[in-house]
């Protein structure tokens, strides 16, 4: 991890999505900006897995969908493989999109119930101009083998499969165009725990064999830690901490990250309640009206006056460990 880093496969700068939503009472309706994602800078290196965690509504899916241009950004830029794809038109985008695909959470909703598995997996090929011929069918066979489904699955329909098998179909479809980069948006959250492990292992095998790069979005911090190289923590549309997964779990710097980790139940009943010391109270505030200054200040146990007025910047503390928290400013000045 020393020396000059190669150019990242994906680079986000100031990426922002504000949804226009109706708000107010019946008579005084007005449009407000819902700040779903608000100025995110991130880099993902080729071949790595970046985990993305944070509470419901913090903007993880919106970020993932903007990257593959399913959602138009309000501001900021997306550079993929050296090309700024933020404002490419549909025609030019199509070629680049081959390189980036998405796997969704819900293996039930994401697949068209009237299509056979073969049609589902082949569809992206056809959209990109391939013909429905032997070559395409052979490619489907390859994909079935790759994700561990029997060849006879090709003529069956999604409802004939269990959740885990459906997720395999979703992964096969995402990989059929040979992408380099995959957004995995909660790919195992809807699965039974005994099946989750099968899919996590499959994603890891595929990454190793095909040299894939992942943005892995999940609620479950343990799964994210298992699969990721680095982890980014989001809160109300912003990234508050990024680091190597071991650093972020062993020595979380941001009070929000600390609280998230402390809240994860431990599988050791003798140590129960260990996290109680660092509980945060209250709920995540609304993205329609995020708190001033540091967005976490309303729930932060260490809040200081400056936190209410100034938004902290994401800044390095140790090598490769970025934190957006005013407590870090103090540590810097204490050291100096």
Partner 1 sequence: MSLLEVRGLTTAFRTERGEINAVEDITFDIDEGEILGIVGESGSGKSVTALTIMGLLPQPPARVAAGSVRFRGETLTGMSEPRLERIRGSGISMVFQEPMTSLNPVFTIGEQIMETVRAHEKATPRELRDRAVEMLDKVGIPSAAKRLGDYPHQLSGGQRQRVMLAIALACRPKLLIADEPTTALDVTIQAQVLDLLMDLRDEFGMAVMIITHNMGVIAETADRVLVMYAGRIVEQAPVVRLFERPEHPYTRGLLECVPTLEQDTERLAAIPGSLPEPGRRPPGCRFAPRCRWRIDACRTGLPPLVEQEPGHASACIRAAEIAAQIGAA
Ligand X SMILES: Nc1ncnc2c1ncn2[C@@H]1O[C@H](COP(=O)(O)OP(=O)(O)OP(=O)(O)O)[C@@H](O)[C@H]1O
Contact residues for partner 1, defined by CB under 8 A? 55-56, 162-165, 192-198, 200-201, 204, 219, 221-223, 225-226, 246, 249, 259-270, 272-273, 275-276, 279-284
From the list ligand X, Mg ion, partner 1, none, partner contacted by residue 248 (C-beta under 5 to 8 A by kind)? none
Nearest in space to 174 (alpha carbons), one of 257, 101, 233, 117: 101
Question: Could you tell me the CA-to-CA distances from 77 to 2, 51, 58, 72 in Å, in that order?
Answer: 27, 20, 20, 11
Return the number of the residue (251 or 263) whose C-beta is nearest ligand X.
263
Q: Which helix (H) or strand (E) holds 22?
A: strand 10-23
**Per CB under 6 A, does 58 bind ligand X?**
yes
* β-bridge mates for residue 40, sequence order: 15
What's the CA gap between 58 and 60, in Å, rounded?
6
Return the number of the residue (62 or 165) whose C-beta is nearest ligand X.
62
Shortest Å, Cβ 59 to Mg ion: 9
Shortest Å, Cβ 34 to ligand X: 5
**Per CB under 6 A, does 108 bind ligand X?**
no
Return the number of the residue (30 or 276) whose C-beta is nearest ligand X.
30
What's the CA gap between 216 and 295, in Å, rounded?
24
Shortest Å, Cβ 232 to partner 1: 17
DSSP reduced 3-state for 69: coil
Nearest in space to 38 (alpha carbons), one of 306, 237, 216, 279: 237
Q: Vertex 50, ends 14 and 48: CA angle to 5°?
A: 115
Return the number of the residue (194 or 334) whose C-beta is nearest ligand X.
194
Question: Could you tell me the CA-to-CA distances from 50 to 55, 64, 217, 226 in Å, in that order?
Answer: 17, 12, 9, 11
**Per CB under 6 A, does 62 bind ligand X?**
yes
**Per CB under 6 A, does 287 bind ligand X?**
yes
- Applying CB under 6 A, among 60, 154, 230, 321 the residue interacting with ligand X is 60
Contacts of 38 (CB under 8 A, 6+ apart): 16, 18, 59, 236, 237, 238, 290
Locate 1 and state its tokens: 């991890």
Contacts of 215 (CB under 8 A, 6+ apart): 10, 44, 49, 50, 52, 64, 67, 181, 182, 183, 184
**Per CB under 5 A, does 61 bind Mg ion?**
yes
Residues between 211 and 240 with contacts to ligand X, criterion CB under 6 A: 219
Burial class (CB in 10 A: 0-12, 13-18, 19+), 184: buried
Return the number of the residue (92 or 264) whose C-beta is nearest ligand X.
264
Return the number of the residue (155 or 286) whose C-beta is nearest ligand X.
286
- Applying CB under 6 A, among 61, 257, 258, 298 the residue interacting with ligand X is 61
Residue range at the interface with ligand X (CB under 6 A); choices 23-31, 60-68, 119-127, 193-201: 60-68
**Per CB under 6 A, does 191 bind ligand X?**
no
**Per CB under 6 A, does 19 bind ligand X?**
yes
Shortest Å, Cβ 54 to partner 1: 9
Return the number of the residue (2 or 56) whose C-beta is nearest partner 1.
56
Return the number of the residue (37 or 140) whose C-beta is nearest ligand X.
37
Nearest residue by C-beta to Mg ion?
61
Q: How much of the chain is helix, strand and coil, in % rounded to 5? A: 35, 25, 40
**Per CB under 6 A, does 263 bind ligand X?**
no
Residues found near ligand X in the complex (CB under 6 A) = 19, 21, 34, 36, 54, 56-62, 219, 287
Residues found near Mg ion in the complex (CB under 5 A) = 61
């Amino acid at each position: 991890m020393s020396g000059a880093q190669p150019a990242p496969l994906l680079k986000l700068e100031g990426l922002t999505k504000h949804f226009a939503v109706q708000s107010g009472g019946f008579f005084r309706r007005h449009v407000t900006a819902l700040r779903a994602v608000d100025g995110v800078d991130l880099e993902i290196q080729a071949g790595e897995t970046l985990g993305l965690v944070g509470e419901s509504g913090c903007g993880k899916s919106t970020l993932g969908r903007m990257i593959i241009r399913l959602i138009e950004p309000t501001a900021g830029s997306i550079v993929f493989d050296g090309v700024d794809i933020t404002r490419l038109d549909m025609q030019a985008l199509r070629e680049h999109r081959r390189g980036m695909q998405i796997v969704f959470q819900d293996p039930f909703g994401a697949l068209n119930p009237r299509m056979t598995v073969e049609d589902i997996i082949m569809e992206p090929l056809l959209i990109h101009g391939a013909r429905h011929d032997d070559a395409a069918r052979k490619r489907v066979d390859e994909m079935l083998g790759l994700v561990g489904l029997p060849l006879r699955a090709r003529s069956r329909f999604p409802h004939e499969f269990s959740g885990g098998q459906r997720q395999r179909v979703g992964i096969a479809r995402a990989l059929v165009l040979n992408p380099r980069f995959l957004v995995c948006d909660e790919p195992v959250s809807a699965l039974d725990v005994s099946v989750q492990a099968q899919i996590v292992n499959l994603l890891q095998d595929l990454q190793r064999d095909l040299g894939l790069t992942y943005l892995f979005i999940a609620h479950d911090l343990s799964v994210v830690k298992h699969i990721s190289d680095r982890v980014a923590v989001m809160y109300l549309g912003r990234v508050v901490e990024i680091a190597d997964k071991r650093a972020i779990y062993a020595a979380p710097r941001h009070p929000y990250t600390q609280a998230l980790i402390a809240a994860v139940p431990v599988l050791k009943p003798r140590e129960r309640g260990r996290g109680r010391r660092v509980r945060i109270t209250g709920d995540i505030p609304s993205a329609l009206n995020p708190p001033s200054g540091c967005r976490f200040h309303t729930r932060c146990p260490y809040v200081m006056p400056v936190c209410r007025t100034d938004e902290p910047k994401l800044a390095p503390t140790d090598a490769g460990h970025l934190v957006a928290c005013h407590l870090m400013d103090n540590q810097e000045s204490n050291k100096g």
